[in-house]
Structure 1
Amino acid sequence: MAAARDPRPVGDKLVTVFGGSGFIGRHVVRALARDGWRIRVAVRRPDLAGHLQPLGGVGQIVTTQANLRYPESVAQAARGSDAVVNLVGILSESGKQSFEAVQAEGASIAAEAAKEAGAARFVQMSAIGADRASKAQYGKTKAAGEDAVLAVYPDAVIIRPSIVFGPEDDFFNRFAAMARMSPVLPLIGGGRTRFQPVFVGDVARVVAMAAAGEIAGGAGAYELGGPEVMTFEEVLRFVLKETGRDRALVPLPFGLAKLQAKVLQLLPNAPLTVDQVTMLETDNVVSEDAKAAGRTLEGLGIEPASAAEVAPTYLWRFRKSGQFEKTRTEA
């Protein structure tokens, strides 16, 4: 886990963070605030970003309206910035918020705006699994976004985390919520897909280092993973243990899961899409190339926090009696 730093005095350097009000965004904003940046958070709905204000000093964090599908708003948000961070991404498409528009074209628009504004550094949040040859639109457009950014900023820092966890995550929390409601949990693809869950605070620390120019950019993304590699089945069993639930784990072949997802993705706030099932066909772990190049948390001198260390601090709320109920291993 990244070592805690004493907050630095607020300086005159300005960083614009696109997508700074989301799960990863709030932790990035906190890390940047502690480093003394003036922070402009560019979001579609500034009226819903008030929760960011306590993360910094008075006047240190301001919000502004911007949408990556509208270049004029992006250019206005980037104006005067010394560094720009793009965290915008989606896990499923909805209306005009398509993978292509948000993750590929949007990244290009953000980079062009940053360059026009004279920003010295650009940081692009991508993901392990970003690949032009990916069968999943998520991974394919993440890779297209990386290419678009590097075409404008050859020395941009590209960050690819594995599954990110933390108190507000949509990973451990999602499965814990499912276990609370359903007697059965599906092991998609037999539960063999491997993940390397990484703590959101560690990811935020790397983003802040990149914005400050403390790590090199250019060719080769930084791949961030935690200390544990867990299969999908191990993830579910971990969640069940921590929440004190007994649930049946039923294998669900990828083909059947895709048929089910075709129906589910028609629902508002779809719980599962075909694209998400497709992503589960590939392991989500740090590559050997990234390890060899030192483009990992350990390579940056950060000891990654483990899921076993952090996740229990927020999964207790899914226990039948909350924090006062012991898990099976504690009894």
Structure 2
Amino acid sequence: MAAPIDTLVTVFGGSGFVGRHVVRALAKREYRIRVAVRRPELAGHLQPLGRVGQINIVQANLRHPASVKAAMRDASIVVNLVGILTESGAQTFDAVQARGAGAVAQAAAEIGARMVQFSAIGANADSESAYARAKAAGEQAVLAAVPSATILRPSIVFGPEDQFTNRFANLARMAPVMPVFGATTKMQPVYVGDVAQAAADAVDGKTRPGATYELGGPEVLTMSEIIDIILATIERKRMTLPVPTAIAKLQSYFLQFAPGDFKLTPDQVAMLGVDNVVSEAAKVAGLTLDGLGIAADSLEAIAPQYLWRFRATGQFAHNGMN
């Protein structure tokens, strides 16, 4: 394999939450990086993550195969991070996470590039969730075109720019009561920095060809326990109210039209009804962060580094719970 400095990696979706950390990890390992995004003018924040000229941003849309092929020209390795949490217009789960992933894989196969595909724990062709079904279809399309591809399935990813811990911390700042959907559902929150390191290892060729890795943090927590950790971190006392699934489904039909952090879709309720943890099979096979030699960071260790801004007393003053 060529030295990193002589290797071009195309990263689709590199401007998002996970993407920026993957780009930074690859830049630290001296790869040349081409970041393919729908809106290049909104990806300027990536430039300082590498040396001058190391990171190049281009336009591409997974729904337009010609742009995908152009973004992949001369690349040796392709990383596809593109995913959406809710559908909007032409940006449907199937178009982006199934057919879009297939388009990237087909283009990679044509030029003989290695591929790393981001999916999610819970990807399942038989799932009640359209998101999970599309993720599973994307995996199948990728492996059909590039059998040697590495699939990375993270659990819930947290970090400074996430739409998970920040969302609930912001809600706690505004609401006296915290409704908890999927209160008993088990999750294995994984730090975005650890996920990015796993992606960089896959680009390095340290993962097994054609294998699916499940990435989870050091702790399995229920949704209620995660909310408790967030509340303790931001030092706010709030009553938590577990919401039964039937009521959550009913509320989601109205909340799917709500703005910002109040939004909740029926598909998200479906996902919250299924545990999101690393399987025993993945552990036994060594297809985990631990198997890659990555010591995962916990939510309690990392969250205070960025959730402090939601404390009533700020970063340094600690006057008890509010």
Query: Which TM-score band applies after superposition, normalised by the shorter structure?
Result: over 0.9
2:232 paired residue number: 241
Matches within 5 A, 1:1-331: 11-119=5-113, 121-189=114-182, 191-218=183-210, 220-267=211-258, 271-326=263-318, 328=320
| Offset, 1:212 | 1.8
Gapped regions of structure 1 (runs ≥ 5):
1-8
Could you list the runs of 4 or more consecutive aligned residues of structure 1 that deviate by over 2 angstroms after TM superposition? Answer: 266-270
Question: Which digits, 9 at most, give the CA deviation of each residue in 1:186-239, with x for residues without a partner?
Answer: 1224x1011100011111111111112121121x41000010111111011111
Letter in 2 for 1:86: N
Secondary structure in 1 aligned to 2:242? strand
| Counterpart-to-counterpart distance in 2, 1:27 and 1:170 | 15
Structure 1 residues 327 and 142: alpha-carbon distance in aligned structure 2, compared to 1, 3 A threshold: farther
| Offset, 1:327 | 6.5
TM-score if structure 2 supplies the norm length? 0.96
Question: Which digits, 9 at most, give the CA deviation of each residue in 1:150-169, with x for residues without a partner?
Answer: 00111100000000011111
Is residue 243–residue 327 contact of structure 1 (8 Å, CA) maintained in 2?
Answer: no
| Offset, 1:117 | 2.7
Is residue 158–residue 217 contact of structure 1 (8 Å, CA) maintained in 2?
Answer: no
Is residue 108–residue 146 contact of structure 2 (8 Å, CA) maintained in 1?
Answer: no
Secondary structure in 2 aligned to 1:123? strand
Is residue 155–residue 217 contact of structure 1 (8 Å, CA) maintained in 2?
Answer: yes
Q: Aligned residue pairs: how many?
A: 319
Q: % of aligned pairs identical?
A: 60
| Counterpart-to-counterpart distance in 2, 1:236 and 1:325 | 22
| Counterpart-to-counterpart distance in 2, 1:101 and 1:122 | 19
| Counterpart-to-counterpart distance in 2, 1:327 and 1:307 | 22
Secondary structure in 2 aligned to 1:324? coil
Secondary structure in 2 aligned to 1:323? coil
Gapped regions of structure 2 (runs ≥ 5):
none
Question: Which digits, 9 at most, give the CA deviation of each residue in 1:51-72, with x for residues without a partner?
Answer: 0001000000000000001111
Question: Which digits, 9 at most, give the CA deviation of each residue in 1:122-167, with x for residues without a partner?
Answer: 0000000001111101111100000000001111000000000111
| Offset, 1:328 | 4.0
Q: CA RMSD in A?
A: 1.5
Is residue 242–residue 327 contact of structure 1 (8 Å, CA) maintained in 2?
Answer: no
Letter in 2 for 1:111: A
Letter in 2 for 1:98: T
1:3 paired residue number: none
